[in-house]
Structure 1
Amino acid sequence: MLDHTDFQILEELSRNSRISMKELGERIHLSGPAASARVEKLESNDVIQGYTVKINQAKLGYHVHALINIFTKSTYHQPYLAFLETQKQYVIHNYKISGDSCYTLECRFPSIEKLDEFLVLLNEHVNYKLSIIINK
């Protein structure tokens, strides 16, 4: 069972996972070693499953961010999933969902032209509905 201090730790690590244990302890009113022990316990209990890096996609040349709802043409999804394997440079996440569509793709593209090329190829396997993200 998580207590208030555990939730404070998770909140602080969500803001900055590179924070030192000393600074984390200061923010949540524990010593550095006590904060470290708490973090290790959260990791060993699989509450914390890893740490990530937030990447500025625009700095990498990806200026178009899109969400694409996928409507499969049959119950056999393997051709669509195989297609995605060839498009890893654009696909951030492929979520299998419930609702009107079967999947939601989160993608990024360097240009509208590359997005268009992707959509032409995608349409060979599935139908889709496109939303372009204007601002996060």
Structure 2
Amino acid sequence: MLDQTDRRILEELAQNSRITMKELGERVHLTGQAAAARVAKLEDNGVIEGYTIKVNQAKIGCLMHAFITIFTKTVQHEPFLSFIKTQEGHVLRNYKISGDGCYLLECRFPSNEVLDDFLVQLNEHANYKISMVIKKQ
């Protein structure tokens, strides 16, 4: 079970995973060595699964942000899932969902033309409903 200090450590690492253990310790009222030991324990217990970066998609040319609800055509989802694996440059996240649809894709595209090409290929495997992001709040 996580205590309050572990939760604070996770909050701090979520804000900046490159923080030094000394600075992390200061922020959660531990020594750097104690903070490092806590982080190692969180990693060993699988609470922390890995570290990542947050990429500004607009700055790398992917200005179009879309959520695509997927309606598979058959109970065999493998062709769709295989296609999605080839589209890692556009598909940020793929969620298996219940309710309206089978999957929900979060995608980024540099242009309408690239989006259209993606949708044409996608339609070989599934039907879809697309929602475009206008503004992030």
Partner letter of residue 23 of structure 2?
Answer: E
Deviation at 1:111, TM superposition (A): 0.6
Residue correspondence of structure 1 range 36-75 to structure 2 within 5 A: 36-75=36-75
Runs of 5+ consecutive residues of structure 2 not aligned to the other structure: none
SS state of the match for residue 48, structure 2?
coil
How far off its partner does 1:114 sit? 1.0
Q: CA deviation at 1:134?
A: 2.0
Q: For 1:77 and 1:37, how far apart are their aligned partners in 2?
A: 43
Identical amino acids, percent of aligned pairs: 66
Q: Which runs of 5+ in 1 are unaligned?
A: none
Partner residue, 2:131: 131
Residue 86 of structure 1 corresponds to: 86
CA distance, structure 2, for counterparts of residue 39 and residue 113 of structure 1: 45
Find the aligned partners of 1:68 and 1:106 in 2 and give their Cα distance. 7
Residue identity in the other structure for 1:27: R
Match of 2:16 in 1: 16
- Please state if 1:6 is matched with 2:6: yes
Which amino acid counterpart does residue 111 of structure 1 have in structure 2?
S
Runs of 4+, deviation exceeding 4 Å = none
3-state secondary structure, aligned to 1:34 = helix
* Partner residue, 2:33: 33
Q: TM-score, normalised by structure 1?
A: 0.94
Deviations 1:17-76 (A, max 9, x none): 111111111111111111111111111111111101001111211111111000011111
* Aligned Cα root-mean-square deviation (Å): 1.2
Distance 1:49 1:9 in 2: 14
CA–CA distance in structure 1, aligned partners of residues 124 and 60 of structure 2: 28
Measured at CA, do residues 17 and 82 of structure 1 come closer, stay the same or move farther in structure 2, by a change above 3 Å? same
Measure, in 2, the Cα distance between the counterparts of 1:35 and 1:125.
Answer: 48
